[in-house]
């Protein structure tokens, strides 16, 4: 059964929320400025609840099972986070209230800034970015502003490894740079020789994901950073994979200049079906003054008796404002709660178990799937979703077949440098049993790929819908369920 759309469920004059009549004397409406009909659906509360409840049941989610979507860190989202973000003191405070009335919010943000700096080894931070990509953009603009502030206008290029996430090159070009690809070597590291070759004094910086998207820790990390620094470039760290590094290394200490966090990955805030995320950006000392404005700071020092007064500060050479207000505060509350629960030991424990889980799963699958760059991985690894002796079976088929066994497929066809990539990130919240169950499923599918490839080609079989026609979608481009017919 396909679920009708809200327009199909609509019936004239129905409504799901009843407003009061105005209790002020009526003012005339501006006749020339009124819209024609409002073509909105008309449903009762029960219709709406049922529709969205039924729709929800068509979704797979972490709460139902294993979700090893590589690069996305689909870990368990603690329920306490949800309660905390909904506290009226937080959820019902207006962003433009006088700072005296929102000291709780500001203190929390300040404390979170301190914590994030501590775990990453940086000295400055902004909580403003709305997501990872938004954080990257901040980073790109900071690079730009930094070089310009030094009147170093020749730096037009940003280096991006070929294993990088799509947001890295996209960000670089949005920030006004030319993107130069850097190849990987046969161990999955950056090709050092190539890097030295490419890197010159027109390079504004390097965007480096570490562990990289193969799940591998860059074996020449310090060298890579040094090469860039020697040429006067900056090193940007894409912190999407920071889950593997909590308490393991502080990127700021080894020489990264900028890094964004993905609070919705590392710090357990829910992914929400595609956002909201939160992508704070931390920076090394020389870049502090370029942070977007405003940042939270202490505007009046406290003493024994009175707490400090928190407020907003505009960095002197700020790149400017990156969004309205101060960031995804509701997401910050969740991440804050999570860090407060974990403490230092808890954070390191997360990284250790995330890495252990990935290695264990890699080990379980190693005989069945080919794993390029096969060395100890960090929080994730990439397997190849094809076999020479099972021609015609692709990673996509393997992925679709997994759904029939009630698990979410890994990320596929990324990173681009692995053929038929299946990028698997189990996260630390999955148990050994869950990993073993998953490995068994993947092995079963590998068998099926050889014995009954059609089963895979036609998969999934047990899902609400079968494979969808993406070509038709793009060709016909139906983007709305109902638009009023023109008269």
Ligand X SMILES: Cc1ncc(COP(=O)(O)O)c(C=O)c1O
List contacts with ligand X (CB under 6 A).
Answer: 71-72, 131-133, 165, 167, 209, 213, 238, 240, 262, 277, 279
Q: Whole-number minimum distance, CB 273 to ligand X, in Å?
A: 13
- Shortest separation between residue 298's beta carbon and another protein, angstroms: 15
Q: Which does 205 bind (CB under 5 to 8 A by kind): ligand X, a second copy, another protein, none?
A: none
Residue 257 binding a second copy, by CB under 8 A: no
Closest CA to 381 of 360, 407, 367: 360
The alpha-helical segments, DSSP class H, found in 218-290 are 221-230, 251-254, 263-266
Nearer CB in complex with another protein: 102/424: 102
Neighbour-count burial of 485, counting CB atoms closer than 10 A to its CB (0-12 exposed, 13-18 middle, 19+ buried):
exposed
> Which residues inside 12-31 make contact with another protein, applying CB under 8 A?
12-20, 22-27, 29-30
Q: Which residues lie closer than 8 Å to 52 by C-beta, 6 or more apart?
A: none
Least Å distance, CB 232 to another protein, is 19
Which range, of 11-19, 196-204, 418-426, 441-449, touches another protein by CB under 8 A? 11-19
Please choose, from the candidates 116, 149, 142, 120, the residue with its C-alpha nearest in 3D space to the C-alpha of residue 296.
Answer: 116
53 or 451: CB nearest another protein = 53
| Residue whose CB is less far from another protein, 69 or 182 | 69
Q: How far is the CB of 455 from ligand X (least distance, A)?
A: 30
Determine the 3-state secondary structure of 245 from DSSP.
helix
Cβ 456 to ligand X, closest distance in Å? 26
Binding mask 411-450 for a second copy (x = CB under 8 A): ------------------xxxxx-----------------
Distance of CA 159 to the CA centre of its chain: 21
The set of residues, in sequence order, having a beta carbon less than 8 Å from that of 111 and lying 6+ positions away, is 336
By a kind-dependent CB cut-off of 5 to 8 A, residue 30 interacts, out of another protein, a second copy, ligand X, none, with another protein
When CB distances are held under 5 to 8 angstroms depending on the partner's kind, the choice from a second copy, another protein, ligand X, none that residue 238 binds is ligand X
Burial 190-222 (b: 16+ CB within 10 A, else e): bbeeebeebbeeebbbbbbbbbbbbbbbbeebe
Given a contact cutoff of 8 angstroms between Cβ atoms, the answer to whether 296 and 326 are in contact is: yes
Q: Which is nearer to a second copy, 62 or 383 (CB)?
A: 62
For residue 137, give the 3-state DSSP assignment: helix
- What tokens were used for 154? 């020749």
Mask 408-437, x = binds another protein (CB under 8 A)? Answer: xx-x--x-------------xxxxx-----
- Residues 287-316 binding another protein (CB under 8 A) are 292
Coil, helix or strand at residue 242: helix
By the rule CB under 8 A, 11 interacts with a second copy? yes
Find the shortest distance in angstroms from Cβ 57 to a second copy.
6
Of 422, 379, 381, nearest to 400 by C-alpha is 422
Helix (H) / strand (E) containing 204: strand 203-209
Q: Which of 56-64, 90-98, 259-267, 354-362 is the region at the interface with a second copy (rule: CB under 8 A)? A: 56-64
Mark the segment that binds a second copy (CB under 8 A) among 72-80, 153-161, 324-332, 444-452.
72-80
Smallest CA-to-CA distance from 87 within 434, 337, 324 is with: 337
Residues 113-142 that bind another protein (CB under 8 A): 115, 118-119, 121, 130-134, 136-137, 140-141
* Residue 71 contact among a second copy, another protein, ligand X, none, beta carbon within 5 to 8 Å by kind: ligand X
> Scanning the structure block, which residue is given the tokens 């997501």?
131
Binding at 65: pick from ligand X, a second copy, another protein, none (beta carbon under 5-8 Å per type): a second copy
Sign of the torsion angle spanned by Cα atoms 235, 271, 478, 11: negative
**Cα angle 248-250-253, degrees, rounded to a multiple of 5:** 135
227, 260, 222, 298: which is closest to 142 by C-alpha?
260
Place of tokens 């929800």: 56
Q: Between 79 and 475, whose beta carbon lies closer to a second copy?
A: 79
Q: Is 365 in the site for another protein (CB under 8 A)?
A: no
Contacts of 114 (CB under 8 A, 6+ apart): none
For a second copy, the binding residues (CB under 8 A) are 1, 11, 14, 44-47, 49-50, 53-54, 57, 62-65, 76, 78-79, 406, 429-433
């Amino acid at each position: 059964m396909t679920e009708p759309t809200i327009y199909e469920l609509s019936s004239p004059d129905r409504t799901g929320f009843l407003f009061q009549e105005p209790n002020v004397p009526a003012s005339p409406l501006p006749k020339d400025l009124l819209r024609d009909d409002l073509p909105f659906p008309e449903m009762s509360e029960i219709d709406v609840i049922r529709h969205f409840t039924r729709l929800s049941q068509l979704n797979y989610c972490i709460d139902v099972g294993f979700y090893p979507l590589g690069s996305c860190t689909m870990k368990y989202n603690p329920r306490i986070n949800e309660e905390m973000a909904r506290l009226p003191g937080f959820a019902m405070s207006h962003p433009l209230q006088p700072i005296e009335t929102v000291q709780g919010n500001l203190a929390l943000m300040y404390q979170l800034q301190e914590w994030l700096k501590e775990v990453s080894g940086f000295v400055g931070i902004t909580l403003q970015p709305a997501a990872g990509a938004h954080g990257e953009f901040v980073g790109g603009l900071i690079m730009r502003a930094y070089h310009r502030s030094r009147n170093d206008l020749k730096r037009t290029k940003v280096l991006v490894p070929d294993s990088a996430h799509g947001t890295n090159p996209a960000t670089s070009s949005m920030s006004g740079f030319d993107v130069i690809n850097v190849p990987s070597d046969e161990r999955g590291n950056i090709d050092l020789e190539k890097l030295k070759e490419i890197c010159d004094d027109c390079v504004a910086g390097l965007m480096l994901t570490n562990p990289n998207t193969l799940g591998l820790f860059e074996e020449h990390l310090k060298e890579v950073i040094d090469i860039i620094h020697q040429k006067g470039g900056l090193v940007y760290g894409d912190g999407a994979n920071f889950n593997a590094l909590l308490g393991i290394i502080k990127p700021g200490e080894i020489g990264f200049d900028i890094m964004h966090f993905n609070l919705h990955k590392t710090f357990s805030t829910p992914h929400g079906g595609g956002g909201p995320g939160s992508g704070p950006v931390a920076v090394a000392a020389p870049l502090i003054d370029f942070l977007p404005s405003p940042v939270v700071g202490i505007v009046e020092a406290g003493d024994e008796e009175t707490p400090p007064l928190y407020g907003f500060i505009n960095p002197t050479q700020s790149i400017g404002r990156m969004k309205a207000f101060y960031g995804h505060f509701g997401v910050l509350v969740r991440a804050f709660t999570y860090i407060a629960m974990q403490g230092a030991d808890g954070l390191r424990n997360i990284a250790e178990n995330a890495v252990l889980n990935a290695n264990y799963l890699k080990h379980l699958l190693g005989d069945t799937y080919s794993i390029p760059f096969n060395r100890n991985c960090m929080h994730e690894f990439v397997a190849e979703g094809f076999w020479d002796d099972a021609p015609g079976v692709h990673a996509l088929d393997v992925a679709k077949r997994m759904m029939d066994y009630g698990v979410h497929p890994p990320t596929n066809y990324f990173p681009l440098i692995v053929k038929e990539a299946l990028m698997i990130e189990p996260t630390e919240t999955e148990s050994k049993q869950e990993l073993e169950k998953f490995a068994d499923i993947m092995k079963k599918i590998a068998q099926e790929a050889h014995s009954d490839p059609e089963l895979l080609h036609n998969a999934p079989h047990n899902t609400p819908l079968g494979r969808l026609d993406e070509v038709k979608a793009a060709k016909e481009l139906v983007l709305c369920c109902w638009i009023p017919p023109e008269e």
